[in-house]
Structure formats: C-alpha cells, structure tokens
Amino acid sequence: MKLSWKCVCAVSLLSIFIAALGIAVKAAGREEGTLAAPTVQVKIDNFAFTPAQLTVAPGTTVEWMNRDDIPHTVVSDDKSTFKSKALDTDDKFSFTFTKPGTYSYFCSVHPKMTGKIIVQ
C-alpha cells in the first residue's frame, strides 16, 4: 500500500515537532540546570561546589564528587538533613531529594564553601 503524501507529510512534521521539542527541553535544561535524569553530579574542586546552585526534580539523586586535593564534606545548613563523612580526593557522596524545597549546604571543614539544591 502506498503511503499517501499527506500521511508522510504529517509524520515528517510530527517527527520534526518532537525533535524540536526535545531540543527545546534539553536547551532549557542546560540553561536552568533542570535535568530529567535521576542522578546529577556536583563537582567539588578548588574549594568550590560546581554548580553552586542546582535545580532538580523531586526523586533526583545528587552525587557530589570531590576532585580537589584536600578533603571536604557536604553538610546541609541545619546539619541534619544530609551530612557526608570526610570526602578525600575521588570520594563521593549521594543524597536523594524527595521533598520539594530549597536545601542550602556547606563544607563543614571549610565553611566559606556553600551550595544550594532547589527541588521543584
């Protein structure tokens, strides 16, 4: 059965539309740091958390990876929501954010290092 040109046209348009949507979502994601993936990385290096501010969806796991040549910790400001042990170079710490909200944190060894996870 030969596909009618209308059908092909419709399918092509639909594919282009979906692709465009996908690019738009990815672009938006790159700009705001919103990602659909379940695990997101925060790099620790040069006495800083990068990105310093990160927005994620509820249910996302954030993984901090220490690339610095000095140990750091990841501790929520209230010192109870999440608290890592000492992370030496190449050590990791993960926490899954289920509840929406703003979670400010810092390195308890070098308190000038601060970061924020926004869950929405």
Partner 1 sequence: MERPGKDELVYDHNHDGVDRRGFLKCMAWAGTGALCLMKAGVLHSASLSGITESAASAKGELSFVQISDSHMGFNKPANQDVVGTLKAAIEKINALPNPPEFLLHTGDISHLSKPEEFDAVEQILRSCVAKDVFYVPGEHDVINDDNAANYLQRFGKGATGMGWRTFEKKGVRFFGLVNVMNLKAGGLGSLGSEQLEWFEKELKPVFASTPIVVFAHIPLWNVYPEWGWGTEDSAQALGYLKRFGSVTVLNGHIHQTMQKVEGQVTFHTAASTAFPQPQPGQAEGPGPMKVPAEQLKQLLGITDVNFVRGQQALAIVDSKLG
Which tokens hold the place of 2? 């030969």
Residues 71, 81, 96, 118: which binds partner 1 (CB under 8 A)?
71
Is there binding between residue 108 and partner 1 (CB under 8 A)?
yes
Taking CB under 8 A as the rule, does residue 67 contact partner 1?
Answer: no
Tell me if 34 contacts partner 1 by CB under 8 A.
no
Q: Which stretch binds partner 1 (CB under 8 A): 3-11, 20-28, 78-86, 93-101?
A: 78-86
Cis preceding-peptide flag for 51 (omega within 30 of 0) = yes
- Residue 43 binds to partner 1 (criterion: CB under 8 A): no
Please report, as ranges, the residues that interact with partner 1 according to CB under 8 A.
46-48, 68-71, 73, 77, 83, 85-86, 88-89, 104-106, 108-112, 114
